[in-house]
Amino acid sequence: MKKQFNRMRQLANQTVGRAEKTEVLSEDLLQVEKRLDLVKQVSHSTHKKLTACLQGQQGADPEKRSVKTPSVILAQCLVEGAAVLGDDSLLGKMLKICGDTEEKLAQELIQFEFQIERDVVEPLYVLAEVDIPNIQKQRKHLAKLVLDMDSARTRISCQQTCTILR
């Protein structure tokens, strides 16, 4: 409790300007710290928009994604239509070729989305939700430690002054 009181008193003294305040971060680092919030906002919104663009189920492996992808469903419908009409008809052959082509496109899309999620979406999430909050937490902890150091320095100088006066 006493430590918290001393910390608050030191913070008030630094704010008013009666106590010296140790600057831990250089001007460059202060600029980087200000940009950190912007980076967090941008990475969070980009992650959100990218996730909304993905058609498959996020987090599932490519095999499970192919079950509910609209392109795969369309390809299956085309192939089934071709089977119903038979290979004898021109429409049946065309539906079979289109179904196979759509299936290949769907598999490419699934692989592409899986790769985007692995290489872009997940790192953006880690940056926005893990790394940047950790940096901010460590910065607050650093500020607290610097305040403790300044408070201890002030107490030591006061004790030395009182010892000299006695």
- Who has greater pLDDT, 86 or 1? 86
- Who has greater pLDDT, 86 or 6? 86
In the prediction, which pLDDT does 29 show? 77
- Averaged over 67-83, what is the pLDDT? 89
- Who has greater pLDDT, 33 or 100? 100
Q: 121: which residues sit within 8 A by CB, 6+ positions away? A: 47, 50, 51, 54, 58
Quick one: pLDDT band at residue 55, thresholds 50, 70, 90? Answer: confident
pLDDT at residue 8 above 70?
A: no
pLDDT at residue 94 above 60?
A: yes
d(CA 92, CA 80): 10
Quick one: pLDDT band at residue 76, thresholds 50, 70, 90? Answer: very high
Is the entire prediction scored with pTM above 0.75? no
Query: Contact 55/69 with Cβ under 8 angstroms?
Result: yes
